[in-house]
């Protein structure tokens, strides 16, 4: 079955008693046992919960994995995966990393003696140079955010496998609709499902998908032991959102392509970072490993003084963090999302004071361009008056 059909049908045949097409929100934490030594399959909701289970099975199938785990946030999913590692272990991680993941690694995992090196994960020489006898994990974001750097998933995961290193891909930006890292050799996929999977800027959630029995058992143990699991209501909201993922991703991609091209020819814009553009350095690999492009990109203004008036003047587009929802959001990474990353690293990857990040929603692209046009005009006018 094609992925559009799987998405639309999530949970629709899972409830045999009433035949409910929308799987019910089962709010119970305790489950009655038929008799001693017997179980309905459910004992206590942290370990397994009916609504969450439907979601977890669906995401495992969508990502071509063996087991799925729903967590209370994307960070909870990453923390649960990182709990696999122990004192002395070393990780290799994408350079232009989500700020919260960087903070978790540098300010929390270091307390447990787990360290990380940040490299261009698309460069096997850099991976090789960073590898130590204690390197146990490789964490890739592709595309990265905000700079949209692309890593060849197949090549880097094959490298990891050769060295007995567990490969983890954060697939938040593309979702299984456009990219399935496990099919390309990854061991684990994580998601901030808060973004495109849920899609409506209204539920915080994370997902993990594992390949192989051993890893699936280990993550099941950690998921239950740590307990950062997703509740039944939020599991339902996430499934509800995922049913329209295919339609939304197509529209996000369409709008982002139209607007990135418009921005590229605008005289106030210095550079646009979007892998769908044929001159993007990662375009070829992105096209090889993914069937489409995300709805988020970033761009650099020529003059940093235009940033403040633009963010003040956009109306339809909200000045807000987050990404992946139906509503368009714009943010200023250097100050908002990437403040926890040291300036030195930020400069190295190119997150500077002229960079804006745009999560393009599913509004009509004409209206979004009109909003940008009036905000840019206002910024130009103010600059002229200075
Ligand atoms: C948002 C995000 C996270 C963190 O997820 P939360 O749901 O906010 O906890 C992790 N990775 C990426 C790529 C993200 O965009």
The response to whether residue 172 sits with its C-beta less than 6 Å from ligand 1 reads yes
- Which is nearest to 181 in space by CA: 143, 236, 136, 234? 143
Taking the CA of residue 100 as reference, the ligand 1 atom at the shortest distance is 4
Which residue is listed with tokens 């915080």? 204
Of the candidates 321, 298, 311, the one whose C-alpha atom is nearest the C-alpha of residue 376 is: 311
CATH topology for the 245-385 domain: 3.90.1150
* 151/301 Cα distance (integer angstroms): 26
| CB-ligand 1 contact for 100 (6 Å cutoff) | yes
Residue 231 in tokens:
């509740």
From the centroid of its chain, how far is CA 209?
13
3-242 and 245-385 have identical folds: no
- pLDDT category, 334, cuts 50, 70, 90? confident
Mean pLDDT of the chain: 96
Tens-digit pLDDT profile for residues 10-37? 999 889 899 999 999 999 999 999 999 9
Q: Is 366 a catalytic residue?
A: no
pLDDT tens per residue, range 246-299? 999 999 999 999 999 999 999 999 999 999 999 999 999 999 999 999 999 999
Which whole number is the average pLDDT over 124-153? 97
pLDDT of residue 71: 98
Does the pLDDT at position 197 exceed 80? Answer: yes
Q: Is 125 a catalytic residue?
A: no
Residue 348 has pLDDT above 80, yes or no: no
* Residue 195 a catalytic site member: yes
> Would you list the domain boundaries of the chain?
3-242, 245-385
The pLDDT of 129-143, averaged and rounded, is: 98
pLDDT value of residue 187: 98
Over residues 233-254, the mean pLDDT reads 98
For residue 114, the SS3 value is coil
3-242 has which fold?
Answer: 3.40.640
Percentage of the chain beyond pLDDT 70 is 100
Classify 227 in phi/psi space as left (phi over 0), alpha (psi -120 to 50) or beta: left
- Which of 109, 119, 121 minimizes the C-alpha distance to 85? 109
């Amino acid at each position: 079955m094609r992925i559009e059909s799987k998405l639309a049908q999530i949970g629709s045949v899972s409830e045999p008693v009433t035949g409910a097409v929308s799987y019910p929100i089962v709010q119970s934490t305790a489950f009655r046992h038929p008799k001693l030594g017997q179980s309905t399959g459910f004992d206590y909701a942290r370990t397994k919960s009916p609504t969450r289970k439907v979601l977890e099975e669906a995401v495992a199938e969508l990502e071509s994995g063996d087991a799925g785990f729903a967590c209370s946030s994307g960070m909870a999913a990453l923390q649960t995966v990182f709990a696999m590692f122990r004192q002395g272990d070393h990780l290799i991680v994408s350079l232009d990393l989500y700020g919260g993941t960087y903070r978790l690694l540098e300010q929390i995992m270091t307390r447990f003696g787990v360290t990380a090196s940040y490299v261009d994960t698309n460069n096997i020489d850099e991976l090789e140079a960073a590898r130590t006898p204690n390197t146990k994990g490789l964490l890739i974001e592709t595309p990265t955010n905000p700079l949209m750097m692309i890593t060849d998933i197949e090549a880097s995961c094959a490298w990891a496998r050769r060295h007995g290193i567990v490969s983890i891909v954060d697939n938040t930006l593309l979702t299984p609709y456009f990219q399935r890292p496990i099919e390309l050799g990854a061991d684990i996929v994580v998601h901030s499902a808060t973004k495109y999977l849920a899609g409506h800027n209204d539920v915080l959630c994370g997902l993990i998908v594992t390949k192989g029995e051993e890893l699936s058992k280990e993550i099941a143990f950690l998921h239950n032991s740590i307990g950062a699991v997703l509740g039944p209501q939020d599991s339902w909201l996430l499934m509800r959102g995922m049913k329209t993922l295919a339609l939304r991703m197509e529209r996000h991609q369409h709008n982002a392509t139209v607007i990135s091209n418009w921005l590229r020819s605008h005289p106030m814009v210095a550079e646009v970072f979007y892998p769908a553009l044929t001159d993007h350095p990662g375009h070829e690999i992105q096209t090889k490993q993914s069937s489409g492009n995300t709805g988020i990109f970033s761009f650099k203004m020529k003059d940093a003084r235009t940033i403040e008036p633009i963010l003040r003047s956009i109306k339809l587009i909200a000045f807000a963090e987050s990404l992946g929802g139906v509503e368009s959001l714009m943010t200023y990474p250097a100050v908002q999302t990437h403040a926890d990353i040291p300036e030195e690293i930020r400069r190295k990857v190119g997150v500077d004071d002229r960079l804006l990040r745009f999560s393009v929603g599913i509004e009509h692209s004409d209206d979004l361009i009109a909003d940008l046009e009036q905000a840019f005009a206002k910024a130009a006018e103010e600059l002229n008056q200075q």
